[in-house]
Every structure is written in structure tokens, then in C-alpha cells.
Structure 1
Amino acid sequence: MENTLPVSHAALLERTAETFHQAYFIYHCGKHQMQYLNQAFREVVGLSREEALADASRLLQQVHPDDHSFLMEQYQKLQGKGTQKGIEVRLVLPGQNLKWVCLSVTVLEEAGERYLCGFAEDVTLRKEYQNNILKFNSKKNSTLEILSHDLAAPFQNIQGMMGMLETEIESASPATVELMDYIKENAKKGSDMIRDFVDNEFLESSQVVLHKERVNIIQKLTIMMDNYQHLGGALLEKNFVAQLPSEPVYVYLDVMKFMQALNNLVSNAIKFTNDTGTITTSLENLDNSVIIKISDDGIGIPEHLQPVLFDKFTKARREGLHGEKSVGLGMSIIKNIVELHKGNIWFESHEGQGSTFFVEVPKA
């Protein structure tokens, strides 16, 4: 069918882009100049078309200092791949809060000239929404683990006390024995129900599809440990310590899955650390990767169980110090999540001295 749109269709496209807050641009690679910017550009980027057309370098001045090197890396990738989608950077605008902008760019050639063509859109509200979800998800995970340990303990105490009563009451009537068995059985069911609920939350979070984004891993680890310090310090009678760099460290992760894996490592440390013990999270920032360490001064892992620790339904599964049960899936799922991020996990452990788990993942 022949195109019947009038010549003014360009103006309609301009208005459409403005309605959806999409800032379209064309950049001449040889001249290092912007050749075209639509009307929505100022609203999205915070710089007038006239200013950007006169000096394209002013756009880079708007970018958050922590994102400069990242943006340059994406530019280099763009030269090789030809197209880059979903490049998210922060802009620092005078008198405003940080703004998140998502760029999608392609390299096009015309008449021997090379251009970068694409669009930018304001994704600040979406990023704030995602950050709130992640924050509350982290608190939910920590709270569940704390409650699972704290609530399971009374059930275990009931079971233990009923066992003591059985030895004390040798000549109890059949009705009394039946009642004591009923109490023991229901205490065990209650304890198992709590642990099953937490385990199911972890299993549901470990689906294989990753949705990776660039995140400040220091911020996420700080939130996780703060939750344990503030919510679990008194209830669990353990010390939670975060030894983390003060500067941001950026890594590409599926935040929910990755942080759930780390949360599960902390949970394991809780299970096998005595009351008043210490659980520490630290991070080593390398050139191309980060190594996250979760250590405890607990009972450690017996040497004969260490080779099979990461096996599915492993024989290394053990009850926790307060009787927390294990189905032997947790460590294999953690390993799977780390490997999906192209990372590695290993550990060092000595009986009676504690354990340290190392998780290394690439930054990009």
C-alpha cells in the first residue's frame, strides 16, 4: 500500500515522542556534534536543544561522576556491536534530585558518514519503584529467616521438655501418654511448617531466568546486614557485622535472586553459630570482579562433609543448633544462582572455628 501520510508527518512524530517523553537524537561521530534533537530533549535530559547542539560535551557533564566510566564502556561496546539497548545512567541536574535516564542507541552510516541514532527516556519513577521493591524484599527475606529461627526454637523446646516428661512419668496412663505424643507431634509439625515456608520462598526465587541490571552492591549488602542487625540482633542473640567499602561498587546482577542467595548464606551461618557468636559480611573489590565473603565463628563443617556440600539433596545436610531442619537443597541452589551470574562460590571451614563462604562475580 502506498504511503499516503502528508509531509507534516514528521511534526506528528515529534509530538508523539514528546507525549511519551522520549528524547530522540542524531550524533555525528566524525564531527563530535549533535545533528538533531527533538522537542522532548530538554524535559528528559535537562539541557536545552540549543545548548546541546552547540556543545555536545555538556551532555557528559550532566552524567553522575560514578557513571562516567560505565557510559564510556557502553560507547566502546556500541562501536563493536552496532546497537546497545537499555543503558541506564544517572543525571545530576541543578536544583533537582538525581534523574535516571535509559538510552537505546544504534550506529548508522549514510553517505560515508557515521552517526549514533537513538532515544533517551526518563525512567526515574520506575527505578525508584524497583528500589523500593528490592528494599522491602530484602527486609522480608531477613524477617522470614529471623522469625523461622526465633519461632522454631519454642517448638524445639516443647519437644525437648516432652521428652524429659516421658522419662519422668514412667507410670503414666495411656491417655496421658497419648496426650504427650500429640503435643510432641504438633510441636514438630509447627517447627517444620515454619521452615517449609521459608524454604519455599527461596525455591520460588531461584528460577533460572535472570533479569540483570547495574546495581551498587555495597548498598544492597548494607541493607541486608542492617535488617539483621536491627531486626534480629536481640531475637537471635548473635552479632551481625558489615565490613564494606565506603565507595559504591557497581555490578550487573539479578538483584532479587542474587541477594536471596546471599541471604540464605547468612541464614546458614545463623543456624550453625552459637548464641553471642558473630556473622560478618565483607567485600573485596577487584579490577573485573568482586568477592563477597560471609563468615561466622560457629561450629564449622565436618571435613568428611565438605566435598559434597554443594550437591543436590546432599548428604551434608544437618540440623541447625536449634534443631532447624534441612532438605539439602539450599547450597545447590545458591551455587546455581552464582553460576548463572558467571560467578564462583567456595568456602573454607574448620570444625569448632567457623566457616567463610566466598562468592565471586564479574562486574560486567
Structure 2
Amino acid sequence: MHNTLALRHASLVEKAAEAFEQAYFLYHCDQGKLQYLNQSFAQLFGLSAQAALQDPFLLLDRVHPEDQAFLREQYQKIMATGAQEGIEIRVKVPGQALKWVCVSCTRVDEGQDRYLAGFATDITKRKEYQNNILKFNSKKNSTLEILSHDLAAPFANIEGMVRLLELELTAANPAVMELVTYIKENAKKGSDLIRDFVDNEFLESSQVVLHLERVNLAQRISIMVENYQQVGGSLLTKNFVLNVPSEPVFAYIDVMKFMQVLNNLVSNAIKFTSDHGTITVALQDQGPTVLVSIADNGIGIPEDLKPFLFDKFTKARRKGVRGEKSVGLGMSIIKNIVELHQGIVWFESKEGEGSTFFVQIPKS
């Protein structure tokens, strides 16, 4: 009687899972065989349940070639730690668009037998939505930075011309002098307002808990640099060079926060590089780690400021080549976000020749 009820309950659970299109499986680790998978799981990989049960490697063949080694690494982690959540892989089903699938597993030990029980979810639409948001955010950030740098020069020019007017109009009508002072104050307010807005964007984004996901960093960096190249046009008279591997380079990052770090480093390079200077963004795959470098041939960092660069409210803050202001918080926030990714950030610089900033983080 007890066994009959247990089987009935198991059947009800299975029917409920099928109703919600939940895909789940049970794998015998030692035998290398699937003990069970439901129809939703099979459909997710474009196979029949019978075919997958007979040959589980058919499922692996559906996994994108670039993700197969990653999936094997995750399997070893599960066997060592007992569970792994949020394993995101790409699945190629003949005749269908590329899918993103998220798999979560736990190891279950029954006597001498070891099993993997888990479920999989199609997250393709979620990934597409996230990608669109990230593209929009990247374009927004680069546009803001370009506008802030481009508008800094006119405001600085207005302030300079007003100072000259003040010298020439010392004996002028008090009402005229009051008007000149009004122009000067508003030019400064406009310049400060633009920079404060960009700075606050970065400050707010840095105060959120990291949400790590597996990201093709080569693709993200390419999009960022392309935005600067496309949005800049005649507004931003800098040359951008991109050096990234042609193959995908995956790393576990909080993509919004990490790309904001890189965007801020590019912003600093723009800030301290004169017109027609060159900014080079590069990515290197170093096996267990990735290295991002952002180099410029700008004015460089004076020796006496280098020890204080990553301090909060650092005394190393200074105006850019177009008079852009600095609150001195950016580099300390960059360091904090990189360290939250278990990484390190450092720089090399020579005054008058330029600077290169390096960010190195583990892939997982």
C-alpha cells in the first residue's frame, strides 16, 4: 500500500512538472547512464526521451562546442562540492535558433551509488532581454561620457572669456557686471552638473551586490569600444584601437558593474588624452584568468600622485585636459568592484607619455 501511494505521488509530481514545462533528469554517475528524464527535458535538447536514455552523449553533442569543456568542469565541481546552480550553456538544435539553457544539479548518494538530480530551464528570452538592456546601457554610458567631455570645453571657454570680460569691464555699469557674473556662475554650474550626473551614475551602480553570470567578455568589450567609435564621431576627437581574441573569452562577472569599471577607465583615458590621441583597449585570455588593459598616450600621471590614486577622495584628483572636474572617488570604486570579483587592478604611467591600466580577474 505504501509503495503504491509513493508511486502515485511521484506520478502527480511528474504531471505537475510537465504542466509547467519543467525539465528534469536523474543521472547515475558511476554507470554513466540517465536513469530518468522527462519529455520536457528531451524536447529542450531536440531529442526523444528514448534516444537520450539510450545514449546520454547525444545530449552533450547538442551543447555548443565552446561550452562543452565548461560543462565538464562544472560536472567535476558538482562531484566535489555536491551541488551547482545556474550553469548557463548554449544548446544547438538542428533547424532551431541557438538556445540558452540554465541547469542546476545536486549530487545524491544512495549507498555506493552516486546520482545527479537536476532540472533545466530555457532562458533564451531572458538572455536576449538582458543583452538588449546591456547594449542600451553601454551606449548610454559612452554617450554620456562623450557629451560630458565634449561639453566641458565650451563651458571652460565661456568661463575663460567671462574672466577676460571682467578685466575689461571693471568700470562698467554695475548691472552689466552683475550680468557677466551671472553668465560665469551658470557656465560653471552647467559644467559641474554634467560631470556630477556621470559620476552619480557610476556611484549608484557600484553600490549593488554582485550578480555573477557567465559572459563572453570579448563580445562585451567589443560592443563598448564600438559605441565610443560610433557615438563619438566628430564630437570625440580620439582614436580607439581594439585588440581582443577572435574566439569568445568567457568569465563569471557582474556584467553591469564590471563593464562600468572598464567604461570608467576609458572615460579617464579620454579625460587625460589630448585631441587626436590614441586609446587602446585589449583583452588577453590567460587560462585561469583574463587581463584587460586600457592604454592611452595622454599626459600621464605625475610621480607624486601615483601612491594615492586608488584612495577614496584621493589627493591625486585633478582636472582633465579640457578642464573636466573630478570628485576623486572613481578609482577607489573601480578597485572595490575589481576586488569583489577576486581580481586586482594596477597601472603603469609616465608623465607626458601616457598611462596603461590593467584589470585581471579569475574566469570563475
Q: What TM-score bracket applies, with the shorter chain setting the length?
A: over 0.9
Report deviation, 1:13.
Answer: 1.9
More deviation, 28-37/54-63: 28-37
Report deviation, 1:111.
Answer: 4.4
Is the contact made by 1:21 and 1:44 (CA closer than 8 Å) also made in structure 2? no
Query: What is the match of residue 325 of structure 1?
Result: 325
Deviations, residues 114-144 of structure 1 (Å, cap 9, x unaligned)? 1111111111111111111111111111111
Q: Distance in 2 between matches of 1:19 and 1:355?
A: 58
Report deviation, 1:109.
Answer: 2.1
Identity, % of aligned pairs? 67
Q: Distance in 2 between matches of 1:19 and 1:250?
A: 35
Root-mean-square deviation over aligned CA pairs? 1.7
Query: What is the match of residue 288 of structure 1?
Result: 288
1:101 is aligned to 2:104: no
1:137 is aligned to 2:161: no
Q: Distance in 2 between matches of 1:6 and 1:299?
A: 74
Is the contact made by 1:278 and 1:297 (CA closer than 8 Å) also made in structure 2? yes
Query: What is the match of residue 183 of structure 1?
Result: 183
3-state SS, counterpart of residue 39 of structure 2: coil
Q: Counterpart amino acid of 2:45?
A: V
Is the contact made by 1:265 and 1:294 (CA closer than 8 Å) also made in structure 2? yes
Report deviation, 1:45.
Answer: 2.1
Query: What is the match of residue 361 of structure 1?
Result: 361
Q: Distance in 1 between matches of 2:118 and 2:283?
A: 37
Deviations, residues 124-166 of structure 1 (Å, cap 9, x unaligned)? 1111111111111111111111111122322211111111222
More deviation, 147-156/58-67: 147-156
Report deviation, 1:234.
Answer: 1.6
3-state SS, counterpart of residue 100 of structure 1: strand
3-state SS, counterpart of residue 234 of structure 2: helix
Q: Counterpart amino acid of 1:47?
A: L
1:310 is aligned to 2:314: no
Query: What is the match of residue 277 of structure 1?
Result: 277
Query: What is the match of residue 114 of structure 2?
Result: 114
Query: What is the match of residue 49 of structure 2?
Result: 49
Is the contact made by 2:269 and 2:296 (CA closer than 8 Å) also made in structure 1? yes
Query: What is the match of residue 76 of structure 2?
Result: 76
Query: What is the match of residue 15 of structure 1?
Result: 15
Report deviation, 1:5.
Answer: 6.9
Is the contact made by 1:82 and 1:107 (CA closer than 8 Å) also made in structure 2? yes
Q: Distance in 2 between matches of 1:218 and 1:135?
A: 14
Deviations, residues 45-87 of structure 1 (Å, cap 9, x unaligned)? 2211011011011111000011011101100001111111111
TM-score of the superposition, structure 1-length normalised?
A: 0.96
Report deviation, 1:42.
Answer: 2.5
Report deviation, 1:338.
Answer: 0.5
Q: Distance in 1 between matches of 2:195 and 2:127?
A: 33
Report deviation, 1:19.
Answer: 2.7
Structure 1: stretches of 5+ with no match in the other structure:
none
3-state SS, counterpart of residue 233 of structure 2: helix
Structure 2: stretches of 5+ with no match in the other structure:
none
Deviations, residues 278-305 of structure 1 (Å, cap 9, x unaligned)? 1110112112111100011100111100
More deviation, 144-153/212-221: 144-153
Report deviation, 1:167.
Answer: 2.3
Is the contact made by 2:39 and 2:48 (CA closer than 8 Å) also made in structure 1? no
Q: Distance in 2 between matches of 1:39 and 1:225?
A: 44
Query: What is the match of residue 200 of structure 1?
Result: 200
3-state SS, counterpart of residue 234 of structure 1: coil
Is the contact made by 2:346 and 2:357 (CA closer than 8 Å) also made in structure 1? yes
Is the contact made by 2:74 and 2:87 (CA closer than 8 Å) also made in structure 1? yes
Q: Distance in 1 between matches of 2:136 and 2:18?
A: 34
More deviation, 251-260/119-128: 119-128
Q: Distance in 2 between matches of 1:284 and 1:111?
A: 46
Change (3 A) 1:183 1:272: same
Q: Distance in 2 between matches of 1:110 and 1:355?
A: 59
1:234 is aligned to 2:238: no
Q: Counterpart amino acid of 2:79?
A: Q
